[in-house]
Chain A
């Protein structure tokens, strides 16, 4: 099987990236950042509130965590539902006890179906951000622009109607975007998204949208559900990450963001929740820690960018 000549030609080979989504810069040569009250590590908690239809769809792709067995998959449908009925309330209590706030990435269907849960999230002082329609609402370049625009518009309209809040932030299912997603999010009035995993500070995309850090390797889904570590091992990783970032921020007189990505049906299980509670109370007591909602991180960062 031979390859065309074009396979060893490189039209985008040149300084900077092979795309125009954002510019290159390395973190330690940027103007220093500092969080409110001179804090250096913003702990950015996101909690995914997900509704998995028992009728999964495979276009553009089946979401991680979706149905596994032949129809009807009671096992996975109900375990996911456990997150919204039981486990998330453990998390809300844990946040209240530690005095921290979080950003809840919510499928529109969850907001419509479980208003009591939305009230509890709002009463806790947390932020609501958009997380598509339901877990069939995945995005990739294989879908048409019209379909993607309709999906985003539908998710935002339904979430706003059900919660009374217009979200500023977006989190894609599996962090998956298409070539068009950043522009469509901007077009629909969003100001930030947390899908790209390439940085530990916010940065601005070319179109003006702000990227908040996300992490492949520190989500409970990746560490506990995929790699099958214990909740305690995950908490140890978070402590190690926090300590390193605090030291590095101090050494560079700057700041960092530590994403903590939680899924109620995973970390909210009875035998795991204590590891999260202990971690939260321990980190909340650390002097450099600023537990912050996504929009508060964006506001603080944006204000410092315009100063420089």
Chain B
């Protein structure tokens, strides 16, 4: 990025009404990818001067145990629902989860899910990291995920969405193909980096379950309706453009017993639509790249 400039120079302006059409495999109009965040939050992390890890003095019992629900109960509930409707996961992974609860990571791998890095822990923020520290977390991510799953990570979602001005250049330099940190589009876009070939894939904050439940305060049924509306619009527009819809999830949120039923109905609806391409993040990037 252009550090210090008003425009960080991440990408060029491309108006939606003047683009080459993207066509997904078999003529599908909307690529739908599901992104479960498999995370580990530390109970007593060191404090980053620019962001407190927990609102309460440690241990923040509610905050910590809320996230722990994913790794004891709701991961499998969410994953079974995704399997039933044919959606593979593209996992935003706190890579230390490979060490703490390898059973969760192995479960995702066995289901054919793709893994990308979401940092080491969701309680270690990039703000203020030296270049050496940032390189260390990228290299750690590459090694840890490869050892745990045999996969070489292709993407990045910054830990707790915390960045430095050099993050995108560094992940491109290490050969990563996509970033999930930019929210400027409903299509895959080129990202300007010093080296490498980096693309932005639409992840989503607006239909992220965290926003749905803990920012907008939706009921589970309202959230499920919003997913259907999001899909309908993007699938319609995709006939002219070729769109991407991401469903970013956290098992401790979507996997709560009062929400998972309505969510399953939304997935069933989307899966049954012939315009839906059920894809993993890497598949979407590959198809898009081949059309450039």
A: residues with CB less than 8 A from B are 1-8, 10, 12-19, 24-28, 60-61, 140-142, 172, 174-179, 195-200, 215-218, 226-229, 233, 236-238, 240-245, 248, 256, 258
Determine if B72 is an interface residue (Cβ-Cβ < 8 Å). Answer: yes
B73:A199 contact, CB within 8 angstroms: yes
B56:A240 contact, CB within 8 angstroms: no
Asked, given contacts A7-B129, A60-B57, whether A216 binds B66 with beta carbons under 8 Å apart, the answer is yes
Interchain CB contact (< 8 A) of B73 among A141, A172, A200, A216: A200
Per the bound structure, the CA–CA distance linking A1 and B125 in Å amounts to: 13
A196:B100 contact, CB within 8 angstroms: no
Per the bound structure, the CA–CA distance linking A126 and B46 in Å amounts to: 44
Determine if B149 is an interface residue (Cβ-Cβ < 8 Å). Answer: no
A238:B96 contact, CB within 8 angstroms: no
B: residues with CB less than 8 A from A are 42-44, 46, 48-50, 56-59, 61-62, 65-66, 68-69, 71-73, 75-77, 96, 99-103, 120-121, 124, 127-130, 133, 136-137, 213, 217, 219-221, 253, 256-262
Main DSSP-derived SS at the A contact region:
loop
Interchain CB contact (< 8 A) of B43 among A19, A197, A200: A19
B260 — which chain A residues lie within 8 A by C-beta? 244
> Tally of A-B residue pairs with Cβ under 8 A?
147
B261 — which chain A residues lie within 8 A by C-beta? 240, 243-244
Per the bound structure, the CA–CA distance linking A98 and B38 in Å amounts to: 41
Interchain CB contact (< 8 A) of B96 among A4, A13, A25, A27: A13
Per the bound structure, the CA–CA distance linking A278 and B83 in Å amounts to: 35
A216 — which chain B residues lie within 8 A by C-beta? 62, 66
Per the bound structure, the CA–CA distance linking A215 and B65 in Å amounts to: 10
Per the bound structure, the CA–CA distance linking A27 and B257 in Å amounts to: 14
Name the residue among B42, B65, B96 with the largest chain A CB count within 10 angstroms: B65
Asked, given contacts A15-B99, A141-B58, A217-B256, whether A199 binds B219 with beta carbons under 8 Å apart, the answer is no
B66 — which chain A residues lie within 8 A by C-beta? 197-198, 216
Known: A13-B99, A24-B72, A244-B260. 18 other contacts (CB 8 A): A2-B130, A3-B128, A7-B124, A8-B124, A13-B100, A13-B120, A17-B43, A18-B43, A26-B71, A28-B76, A172-B61, A175-B62, A195-B61, A198-B65, A198-B66, A199-B69, A217-B256, A227-B217
